[in-house]
A and B are shown apart, each in its own frame.
Chain A
Amino acid sequence: MKTLIALASGFVLTLALGSCSSASAGSKTTLRVWAMGREGEVLAQLIPGFEKEHPDIHVEVQQIPWTAAHEKLLTAYVGDATPDIAMLGNTWVPEFVALNSLAPLDSFADQSKEIRRDDFFPGIWKTNVVNGKTYGIPWYVDTRLIFYRSDILAKAGYKEFPKTWADWTAAMRKIKSQMSDKQFPILMPTNEWPQPVGFALEAGSPILRDGGRYGAFEQPAFRKGFDFYLGFYRQGFASPVSSSQVSNLFQEFERGNIAMYISGPWYIGEFKNRLDSATQKKWMTAAMPGINGPGVSLALGSSLSLFAASQHKKEAWLLMEYMSRPAIQLQFYVLTGDLPPRKAAWQDTTFANNKYTKAFRDQLELVVPLPQVPEWEEIATTIFEHGEQAIRKAKTVDQTLASLDQDVNAMLEKRRYLLAQSKQP
């Protein structure tokens, strides 16, 4: 019996030990913050300044990879383990609102001296408003445009990046003809949805119809964008790889194995940090080409949201205010290349003199929001999965779009049911 008791108590002790070390901050309030990718890393660097101003608050930042972020956040929600604050892609906000997992921020924002709504780009603030309430403070704005090797384009005879789909296609054909067969004019991973969705938006597709109740994929507008997307692979401009197969984008870019890449503003920072010095002078950004002249892109970005389950909402709000200060946003921009959502921050000379951000400023004038439905992430995933089938010719375009509509309609079944039940999403 004694031995059993000894064993049992040893066991309890071990576990007590384990759980002790995770709660370490003592009498301080501990805020748990989750952020994705490089932002998570940089956020941690900005925290000491905040903790200095608020010695009674300790902030724990956790970095989660973009690829697993959505499922991690949902698991945390389901398991009642949400952090106080999380960085949320603004397309995810409606989903977490539908789960009643976020706290509305209007009462905080109304009284705040630091955060003034009218200083934020209105289109971006709007992506955080669901049913008339604000559930996120824009942290950075994001849209997708083109990063390219200016020397390779120049060699093909293009001093400036093409402005229309037709010119863009011609430029890629020219570049392809000057490359070896292992090199590609553009890197466009098949498991990313912003490209097909962006082209469809440019072609005028609403993506979903009837208030987000059904898919609109078989409509001519989506089809036009989708055909353009497929063209990249059909004409050999892009190799059908997924992003997990790319070994080192920066090396490939340096070696001229790829000449263009569509991505968001954070890549300005990544390119500055990771490209070698020889390549530094040879890259540039350009706004998305369109059907006739400059094209639209996605109104993306990330917000800081406060979880309803947080026990420290007041302290969390302090951190959100701190992160929204123009000075901190500038610092954040310097570290990440993420563009600030506040006009005040844009007036700084950092932006006026920056040749890389200019294209983004132009593009931000031409951004289109995505459908605000909780199922968006799953729909977006389905879009690229179906796209992949068409790229690899496992299905014809007609079949792909028909099954896309069918699958998305099935996903939205519960939403339609709930909408019919209660008239509220």
Chain B
Amino acid sequence: MSRTNPRLFVVDETKFGASLDSALTRRRISQIILYTLLIIGALIALMPMLWMLSASFMPTGEASTYPPHLIPTRITFIHYRELFTRLNLGRYLFNSALIAVVVTGVSLVINSLAGYAFAKLRFRGRDRTFRILSLGLVLPVQVAMLPLFLLMKNLHLINTYWGVIIPGMASIFGIFLIRQYALSIPDDMLDAARIDGASELRIYWSVVVPGILPILATLAIWTFLATWNDFMWPLIVLSDEAHYTLPVALANLSGEHVMDTELMMAGSVLTVIPVLSVFLFLQRYYIQGVMAGSVKG
């Protein structure tokens, strides 16, 4: 306020009107440019998925024509039918859903207990334990994979749901995320509950959990998507078709049916739809969570 621009006071009425006018047109032009860019970007972002959807309805062979067809000449559902009847897709959907739901549920409990303990409970060795744990963040998971496979073999967990679920039940990233958020819970609230004689578990359940619900929602969606989309570890651990998750089954199918473009597109649609719907329905929590987590982190 103290540095008001003196020039403003000397412009006369007509000049001021003209510059306002040109400012408005400039505003319009930049708006047009912005929207054009945004729409082109949106088309690029959506195009692969729209083509996937469209090709999945094309009769066999239509997706391999030149010039490429963007819209099916005739809509057919045979590829979807084939996936469910002959190619067992229902089974893989079930496997993926089961694994993703169990991992999400269990890891939420385990990570939030640990994250809360690191954030709010005072105990000896807390900082050292936390530092050791944070070392794990820079360790790529692949380093652990070979011995982990042998460990799973000795536990007879190869080719079981457990083989995929157990390594996903606790995550350093999840613990970090929760801890970060739980730091903002006021100590008074916890102490008040203690004075009321509530057990630590009770405090966790009725004070802490409600307080960190938003980050729990974010972590839940994050874990669900990551587990659903995970490929390398399930590929290694699951050798029997009956336990395949969708991505593993899809990669498997694409080896066998590389020439059946339309069928592969239908399979891809079915793999992507569940995660996409979870995201679209819950995106508010997810997007806010990602944005909030990052600013702090």
Asked if the two chains touch in their complex, CB atoms less than 8 Å apart, one says yes
Smallest beta-carbon distance B60→chain A, Å? 9
Return the contact of B256 from the options A19, A22, A37, A78 (Cβ within 8 A): A37
- Cβ of A166 within 8 Å of any chain B Cβ, yes or no, is no
- Cβ of B240 within 8 Å of any chain A Cβ, yes or no, is yes
Q: Is the CB of B153 within 8 A of A79?
A: yes
Q: Is the CB of A80 within 8 A of B255?
A: no
Interface string of A228-272 (1 = CB under 8 A from B): 000000000000000110111111000000000000000000000
Q: Is the CB of A246 within 8 A of B258?
A: yes
Q: Tell me which residues across on chain B come within 8 A of A65, comparing CB atoms.
A: 252-253, 255-256
Q: Is the CB of A62 within 8 A of B240?
A: yes
Interface residues of B in 100-135 (CB under 8 A from A): 101-102, 105-106, 109
Q: Is the CB of B261 within 8 A of A4?
A: no
**What's the Cα separation between A251 and B149 when bound, in Å?**
42
Task: Say which one of A67-75, A96-104, A120-128 lies at the interface with B.
Answer: A67-75
Task: Say which one of B71-79, B154-162, B181-189 lies at the interface with A.
Answer: B154-162
- Cβ of A18 within 8 Å of any chain B Cβ, yes or no, is yes
Q: Is the CB of B153 within 8 A of A80?
A: yes
**What's the Cα separation between A79 and B148 when bound, in Å?**
12
Q: Tell me which residues across on chain A come within 8 A of B260, comparing CB atoms.
A: 248
Q: Is the CB of A19 within 8 A of B259?
A: no
Q: Report the count of interface residues on A (CB-CB < 8 A).
A: 40
Return the contact of A72 from the options B94, B109, B239 (Cβ within 8 A): B239
Smallest beta-carbon distance A12→chain B, Å? 10
**What's the Cα separation between A67 and B261 when bound, in Å?**
17
Q: Is the CB of B241 within 8 A of A62?
A: yes
Task: Please judge, given known A-B contacts A4-B201, A65-B256, A251-B61, whether A79 and B241 are in contact too, CB under 8 Å.
Answer: no
Interface centre among A11, A18, A63 (most CB of B within 10 A): A18
Q: Is the CB of B236 within 8 A of A75?
A: yes
Q: Is the CB of B242 within 8 A of A11?
A: no
Q: Is the CB of A14 within 8 A of B241?
A: no
Task: Please judge, given known A-B contacts A14-B101, A65-B252, whether A81 and B201 are in contact too, CB under 8 Å.
Answer: no
Q: Tell me which residues across on chain B come within 8 A of A250, comparing CB atoms.
A: 259
- Cβ of B179 within 8 Å of any chain A Cβ, yes or no, is no
**What's the Cα separation between A21 and B98 when bound, in Å?**
12
Smallest beta-carbon distance B218→chain A, Å? 20
Interface size grouping (class) on chain B: 35 or more
- Cβ of B16 within 8 Å of any chain A Cβ, yes or no, is no
Q: Tell me which residues across on chain B come within 8 A of A80, comparing CB atoms.
A: 153, 156, 158
Q: Is the CB of A64 within 8 A of B61?
A: no
Q: Is the CB of B242 within 8 A of A22?
A: yes
Q: Is the CB of A246 within 8 A of B259?
A: yes
- Cβ of A420 within 8 Å of any chain B Cβ, yes or no, is no
**What's the Cα separation between A79 and B64 when bound, in Å?**
40
Q: Tell me which residues across on chain B come within 8 A of A21, comparing CB atoms.
A: 94
Q: Is the CB of B239 within 8 A of A76?
A: yes
- Cβ of A352 within 8 Å of any chain B Cβ, yes or no, is no
**What's the Cα separation between A37 and B106 when bound, in Å?**
38
**What's the Cα separation between A244 and B255 when bound, in Å?**
8
Q: Tell me which residues across on chain A come within 8 A of B217, comparing CB atoms.
A: none
Q: Tell me which residues across on chain B come within 8 A of A248, comparing CB atoms.
A: 61, 64, 259-261
- Cβ of A1 within 8 Å of any chain B Cβ, yes or no, is yes
Interface residues of B in 17-70 (CB under 8 A from A): 61, 64
Q: Is the CB of A247 within 8 A of B153?
A: no
- Cβ of A327 within 8 Å of any chain B Cβ, yes or no, is no
- Cβ of A7 within 8 Å of any chain B Cβ, yes or no, is yes
Q: Tell me which residues across on chain B come within 8 A of A32, comparing CB atoms.
A: 240
Q: Tell me which residues across on chain B come within 8 A of A249, comparing CB atoms.
A: 259
B160's nearest neighbour on chain A, judged by CB, is: A19
**What's the Cα separation between A76 and B163 when bound, in Å?**
13
Smallest beta-carbon distance A163→chain B, Å? 31
Q: Is the CB of A11 within 8 A of B236?
A: no
Q: Tell me which residues across on chain B come within 8 A of A15, comparing CB atoms.
A: 102, 161-162, 165
Please give me the 5 A-B residue pairs with the lowest Cβ-Cβ distance, nearest first. A79-B158, A65-B255, A65-B256, A81-B159, A67-B255
Q: Besides the contacts A7-B105, A18-B98, what 5 more A-B pairs have beta carbons closer than 8 Å?
A: A17-B98, A21-B94, A79-B237, A81-B240, A246-B258
28 intermolecular pairs with C-beta atoms under 8 Å apart: A1-B201, A4-B201, A7-B109, A14-B101, A14-B102, A15-B102, A18-B95, A18-B98, A22-B242, A62-B242, A63-B241, A63-B256, A65-B252, A65-B255, A67-B256, A75-B158, A78-B153, A79-B152, A79-B153, A79-B159, A79-B237, A79-B239, A80-B153, A80-B156, A80-B158, A246-B258, A250-B259, A251-B61
